[in-house]
Amino acid sequence: MPPRPHGRKLLPSEVRVSLVDPELRDRVVAFRRDLHAHPELSWQERRTAERIEDHLRGLGLAPRRLCETAVVVDLPDDRGRLDAGPMVALRADMDALPVQEATGLPFASTVPGVMHACGHDGHTSMLIGATELLLRRPASRPVRLIWQPAEERGTGAAALIRAGVLDGVGIIFGGHVDRHHAPGELVVTDGAVNASTDLFTLHITGRAGHGARPHESLDAVVVGSLLVTALQTIVSREVDPAHPSVLTIGSFHAGSAPNVIAGQATLQGTIRAQEASVREHLVRGLERISSAIGQLHGAQVRLEMDEGTPPLVNLPEPTAIARRAAALAVGPARVTTLRTVNMGGEDFAFYLQHVPGCYIRFGARVQGRESFPAHSGEFDFHEGALECGAAWYLHVAHEGAAALGGGPR
């Protein structure tokens, strides 16, 4: 039975699983709690990387660094070979968020304003557990383990790809804890599972003036307000409702005094889509409407796009591999699919632009804390997910190796 979550009693609705030996389970839980107490932001994961390296060296392995804080290690196949054709890659992210923790956990963050509020401490620890399992039971192909920085900034995967992390890789797998699903469940879904995450800024230039003489000015606040309203019609009137998409204005800055008409305004927002064609349509709509409203009022409206992560789409064949592995790890009855559309982003999508792969969810709901979402100071996950994740990584390495031609499953 997995460890009880921070001393809380397991409720009847929580699935009990026992997938790894108690000593390994305890090591993985302890590793997670240590990381949780010492979170590090994107590209600052130095202590985290050192902890991972120390553990791997203690297992007789020779990890290497990429991009300063990424840790990568290759495990030989079941014949001791590292050069036996394309390898299976397993990825975990490891960065925290600029969030003040409010969980009250005994191992809460000791770093003010920084917290593992998304479960990356869990992902890192799952892969630590999987490392030990794979050393006991090697796959029929070499396996590359990747501890990736800077997922929260959406830049870690792309940087590692440029550094060659996918060289020699034939297939890749990863996953994320999910509070919507019970511990013991593994969530494997075909098709889109995460959205694109582009950001945009609209710079509006009008003409400042006295609040009592509006006819002498060109009000940037009015132009910006019209933009906020008009841009909503792209999703509501131009995109098929069957294709999820979002356009959000999250920031509107203008003006300096109540009796001064603003000559400058800045709007910032995000667009999200699960399909490349919808993503492109949202960008074109932004360009068209911002230009038209600027011309209508004689203002200058300049659009800046900050391209984020692409949609994450699981293709059928690697998803079938991930599903077989999930069934082997927790039993077919505990393998399920996503119940709701997820418009969050995930830079694992960059890997899938280069090699086939699949991204899943690890059920991690904590009874009584379901309402606290990821990126919240109250976020927590059920530690029973740790052994489920480690077991799935073990099985998906074997299933992926077989699919690459590394021998029978």
Pairing of strands 169-178, 87-93: parallel
Burial 122-154 (b: 16+ CB within 10 A, else e): bbbbbbbbbbbbbeeebbbbbbbbbbbbbbbeb
Q: How far apart are CA 42 and CA 38, in angstroms?
A: 13
The amino acid that residue 194 corresponds to is N
What 3-state class would DSSP assign to 314? strand
For residue 217, give the nearest of 127, 298, 114, 276 by alpha carbon.
Answer: 298
| φ, ψ (nearest 5 deg) of residue 79 | -110, 10
- Distance (Å) of CA 8 to CA 229, 380, 384: 47, 13, 12
- Return the active site residues: 95, 151
Q: Output the six-digit token pair for 296.
A: 């209508």
Q: Which residues pair with 174 in a beta bridge?
A: 359
C-beta separation of 3 from 9 below 8 A: no
| CB hemisphere CA count around 82 (13 angstroms) | 8
Q: How far apart are CA 52 and CA 61, in angstroms?
A: 11
Q: How far apart are CA 208 and CA 205, in angstroms?
A: 9
Instruction: Please name the residues in contact with 317: beta carbons below 8 A apart, sequence gap of 6 or more.
Output: 356, 403
Q: Which residues pair with 143 in a beta bridge?
A: 75, 88
| φ, ψ (nearest 5 deg) of residue 66 | -130, 145
